[in-house]
Structure 1
């Protein structure tokens, strides 16, 4: 997958890359003139050549240096453009993949892992694409050109690099076999550490209330310890590899001098050519060093790319379009439904049928599986076994857009995006042009039109980070208005009005009841007045539906629901 992506990028940007390589090749050729001319100047001085000839060669050296500088400047600018274009394409692909991920996948991965991928991994990849790849191209072309010049000078001079080549090959191979796994562990431990810090910050009040600060501190120290060990391992790899490389760079200069002196004794090279050979050898050390040094950055960038592309590989296995099989819109059929998190089963063989337009309230103790059932109905999670059909269509494998047309989950965790009120509402619509009258109707449906009209610029008021801050109740109303605009067959409300005071929440739910007439609604409720208003109530206990019926029927039955109702009202 990674190599396929890289080859695709090279194909799409091959023209620019070829131009970069070509320009760097010309710059490297220009850089050969100074050492070559210096060798000729030495021979000319030894032969007592005319000063004009020596001056001409000196001018050629200066001209070659200027030409090299200009070509290098243009090459660097073009390579930066190449790097930015590749990085932008990778970033856009990553963002598209993240936005297409099923919510259940994101929840299982945790926000810390996603933050590490979007932050640290993208940063490593950015450095690789912007810096390492251009440097490797420059160094690679320069090395090829200089080795070619040494070959022209005398092929035997290349043998001076043979011992160093063996040392570089063996040490780099040793490093390359260990570095990818080490860097992958390093990034994984960093993701775990970021997730732990995020959880600690978000749950700080709970930890303080329970007196678990020391325990959480110890767990954080353990994560830091694992991250330290992982990073120390990769640092150890570099401390072994780098000194070996430094030795291999110094060795060729001495060997070249000895080989060139031997060739001079045999009458094969002049003194000036000896100087040229040594100059070229010294000149090639830096690009060889840069070329090999970028292997480390390339390993880190490749590992980061694997993690970023890995997000695309866990995309929703959707793509299937709704079938043409007849089905009544708004029906919900659940049969043999089982689901678990990380091997622990939460729902055990749930069966349930909802008629079009029916309103079901799901109640029960915390941890019984109410929210999980709602997420399965909305298609966020995939059942371990059994099936969930909405409108006659199995939600498993449906494309996200088709799934949203069938069912939508609205939870208490709503978000205001940075932008205008209109832009926040338009997120629910799969089109560029938005009917503002439709936005106002959706706001009126959830009793939000009055306060939106009172804003400085109405629908065009900018909200979100750095702009107007909305209180939680207004944020929730905008989320409800988005649902009205999306117009799904089935709506799952998971405590969607929990951030409002009871009076406002009840008023809003009653207004929604009129707007959502004819639409199937599943309300996950802790406030039992929601159950009172529903057509039927499902009591979930221990991952099963223990009671199902109307409010009055369940009260008369005197079971769990009746006990919950009387406890909620404070009855003895």
Structure 2
């Protein structure tokens, strides 16, 4: 069974192994300390079978109570030593696991934040939410608990087997009887488990995506009466998840019982074969006892190796999904070229979200330094798409968008945002203080600078009125900001970022029209000398602009000043008349 396709890639097995090896190389001291302690703990545990075997032999030959007491004291001493060593071995393993998990999370967050925006939008929220939530949790369990326990079990099994063979070469023969069913079962299971668990995780992604879309679009669902259709979609998603989980359950119900045979055969065979050798006088009773106890001891670590392998398969599938985020190809390649100015230019730009269906068709636009351009047009005409290309969010399919002669997607993001920045009607208030939300745009900005930015967007009055001013906790769990206040925070970040060119995509749409006009005038004073491209339905922005670009059907249909376009009597004139209520 192959894993289903997902929009975000999944890392292959070699990539997972390379990452695991790189993590191990970062922590050699903790890793080898943990291994050494586990080996010592396993060696201490091997004393009991040997001592008991010798005790049985000595009882058979005749012994004293004092000898028995000494053996019991030795057993107790080795048990204490094993307990202490095991305790510290687990402690070091847990410490290593926590460090590894912290690095994995940091790497995942860094890779997620570096995803191209277009990839995030096309992948949807369900897949990312599942990877961020369930996959991280599953990997946390694997790294904290499953991997250390599996390591202990492997070391214990190896050391115990060596000790068993140390009793006599003949012990290896019964042990080999358990190898064929063990190998056959593992090969069958491992060939199917990863794909099954990836399918299971992908089904959770679909459920999360459907739930998120339904909740976010609840008003639309209600208005259109599509609740029944959404329920059927969710039922289908749950049905797929049920089938995926049933498949992995089937793997476990076949795999684990078959493993029991590989555990029991060596123990029974050791007892029978050793007894036969004892009757022939080739081995002592103590050797038979010690060998049987050692082989019996092998059952527990081998069983844990096999049982925990199931958890590790889940963890490996989760790790592959988390690492897959880093395999998303970059949508920009920094060439090291330096812009020679701030002039923004689009030449023969074409762009499509879906292959074969362009939404922009050969757009040409040259924006002068310090010029204010308003882009207007009907919904769906391509205004926001063009704005995103002019801000360097997406690369054009063909043509070029440049600043100072250098393609926007040839600039590193940090450099790009010093030239061009985009503010949309979509906004987010992060959990933290108001100050922390604002200085994201300029870390280390002083309170005076922050207050100036708030004042520039008419937000200083309500910010000062907060219970703790700039130190007021906002966002989820803190003080809730209105949609207009959140948008003002986004605009204040823009002022702090201080880019030369601004692309404002309905940036004041959530603010009262009269207040928005006042806000835009305040911003105009602050952004004097900067290039501004404003995408808006409110035509007073167009009236104040140096030039107006009318976008229709993915093309710039008209370009000129407000007065020129009104006088031309074309599409813009019709929009202007409609805005003023004139037929």
Give the TM-score band, short-chain normalised. Answer: over 0.9
DSSP 3-state at the match of 1:54: helix
Aligned mates of 1:436, 1:364 — CA distance in 2: 40
DSSP 3-state at the match of 1:367: coil
DSSP 3-state at the match of 2:370: coil
Q: CA deviation at 1:116?
A: 0.6
Instruction: State yes or no: 1:408 paired with 2:421.
Output: yes
1:338 and 1:347 in contact (8 A); partners too: yes
Structure 2 counterparts to residues 346-357 of structure 1, below 5 A: 346-357=359-370
1:442 and 1:484 in contact (8 A); partners too: yes
Aligned mates of 1:181, 1:465 — CA distance in 2: 37
1:527 aligned residue: 538
Q: Which among 393, 399, 407 is matched to residue 380 of structure 1?
A: 393
Instruction: State yes or no: 1:8 paired with 2:22.
Output: yes
1:184 and 1:303 in contact (8 A); partners too: yes
Aligned mates of 1:142, 1:223 — CA distance in 2: 43
Aligned mates of 1:109, 1:449 — CA distance in 2: 38
Instruction: State yes or no: 1:126 paired with 2:137.
Output: no
Aligned mates of 2:48, 2:333 — CA distance in 1: 61
DSSP 3-state at the match of 1:360: strand
1:443 aligned residue: 454
1:491 and 1:520 in contact (8 A); partners too: yes
1:508 aligned residue: 519
Deviation per residue, 1:542-569 (Å, 9 max, x gap): 1111111122222222222222222222
Deviation per residue, 1:7-66 (Å, 9 max, x gap): 111111121111111111111111111121111111111111121111101111111111
Aligned mates of 2:379, 2:537 — CA distance in 1: 9
Q: CA deviation at 1:316?
A: 3.5
Q: Which runs of 5+ in 1 are unaligned?
A: none
Q: Which runs of 5+ in 2 are unaligned?
A: 1-14
Instruction: State yes or no: 1:52 paired with 2:66.
Output: yes
Q: CA deviation at 1:273?
A: 2.1
Aligned mates of 2:569, 2:244 — CA distance in 1: 59
Instruction: State yes or no: 1:419 paired with 2:427.
Output: no
Instruction: State yes or no: 1:140 paired with 2:154.
Output: yes
1:27 and 1:72 in contact (8 A); partners too: yes
More divergent stretch after superposition (200-209 vs 472-481):
472-481
1:253 and 1:278 in contact (8 A); partners too: yes
1:452 and 1:458 in contact (8 A); partners too: yes
Instruction: State yes or no: 1:272 paired with 2:283.
Output: no
Deviation per residue, 1:315-361 (Å, 9 max, x gap): 64556265235x222x1110121111132321121111100111111
Aligned mates of 2:335, 2:403 — CA distance in 1: 14
Q: Which among 182, 194, 210 is matched to residue 208 of structure 2?
A: 194
Q: CA deviation at 1:397?
A: 3.6
Aligned mates of 1:77, 1:15 — CA distance in 2: 14
Aligned mates of 2:243, 2:547 — CA distance in 1: 56
Structure 2 counterparts to residues 442-461 of structure 1, below 5 A: 442-461=453-472
TM-score normalised per structure 2 = 0.95
Superposed CA RMSD: 1.5
Aligned mates of 1:412, 1:458 — CA distance in 2: 25
Structure 2 counterparts to residues 190-229 of structure 1, below 5 A: 190-229=204-243
Deviation per residue, 1:101-134 (Å, 9 max, x gap): 2222211111111111110111111111111110
1:468 aligned residue: 479
1:177 aligned residue: 191
Aligned mates of 2:381, 2:249 — CA distance in 1: 48
Q: CA deviation at 1:253?
A: 1.2
1:395 aligned residue: 408
Q: Which among 348, 358, 366 is matched to residue 336 of structure 1?
A: 348
DSSP 3-state at the match of 1:286: helix
Instruction: State yes or no: 1:481 paired with 2:492.
Output: yes
Aligned mates of 2:360, 2:118 — CA distance in 1: 16
DSSP 3-state at the match of 2:304: helix
Instruction: State yes or no: 1:150 paired with 2:164.
Output: yes
Deviation per residue, 1:412-445 (Å, 9 max, x gap): 111111222111110001x4x3222211111111
1:41 and 1:57 in contact (8 A); partners too: yes
Aligned mates of 2:235, 2:577 — CA distance in 1: 47
Aligned pairs, number: 568
